[in-house]
Structure 1
């Protein structure tokens, strides 16, 4: 039973990274931005992130179960950093309206996800592979973030975001 409780803790921690999205909504500011035609529809983001957050939580739990607390300190430390960077992107982009700064944040997030995969793999290959779709989605999100920033950086509302 304690293993299931630990899984629940990892899932809660993972989904907690999405909490800023409740406060910092896209809203009118985002709607009026010039966005590329290849941007997915808004309704797609919530289901994709739901699956990804569930996988992120499961991944962390698998590493803890496999390595134990002492053996998982470094991998779970890197894991925690990527969760914090994940949580930081939304307030930067949607809260501060700073797509340029959000590009920096998402590049750091991408690197942290890759580092998590690298440190997870020797401990539990399945845990590492569970993060591959997350890395792929964040790669796409980074391209989208960069495109939005480039398309809108000359607009007065984004002058401070260069």
Structure 2
């Protein structure tokens, strides 16, 4: 695995810009996704869920540091990447965040656990690609995305269990 070297002469102003960009993108993702979520809706409360589903408050408690890690890892890797690697990483982060927000709309907005499962499976594939691409640029940034991928894999298992319990 090749590591991309950061040029030695990078302006101080340029060093914070990738972090600002990823922070804005992650915040937009969180806001867009949250707009669809209503865990108190009659529809959602009526779904049969597994006993191992975390309580509603746990999702915010987990997503806050995960979103922070995505912004940090993306900013760090974008700061180090150049040329095609930078463009590819920026596109990968954007696609990943779009899939992240889309899951909420697929599951809650469409009131469809099956659509949500398709969305979370696509997000899992995107996570693997984002980790691969990020790690190629910066191993530390890539490793910091592992908890995000693990939580999304857990969410996929949870979503699949809800689909099995609610076949209609």
Task: Determine if the TM-score, normalized by the shorter chain, exceeds 0.5.
Answer: yes
The total of aligned residue pairs comes to 154
Counterpart contact for 1:79–1:113, Cα < 8 Å: no
Q: Which residue of 1 aligns with 2:38?
A: 25
Runs ≥4 residues deviating over 3 A: 68-71
Give 1:1-162 correspondences, 5 Å limit.
1-19=13-31, 20-26=33-39, 27-68=41-82, 70-154=84-168
Structure 2: gaps (5+ residues)? 1-12
Q: Distance in 1 between matches of 2:18 and 2:124?
A: 26
Normalised TM-score (structure 1):
0.89
CA RMSD of aligned residues (A): 1.4
Corresponding position of 1:159: none
Segments of structure 1 that go 5 or more residues without pairing to the other structure are: 155-162
SS in 1 for 2:81: helix
| Structure possessing the higher relative contact order (Cα contacts under 8 Å, 6 or more residues apart) | 2
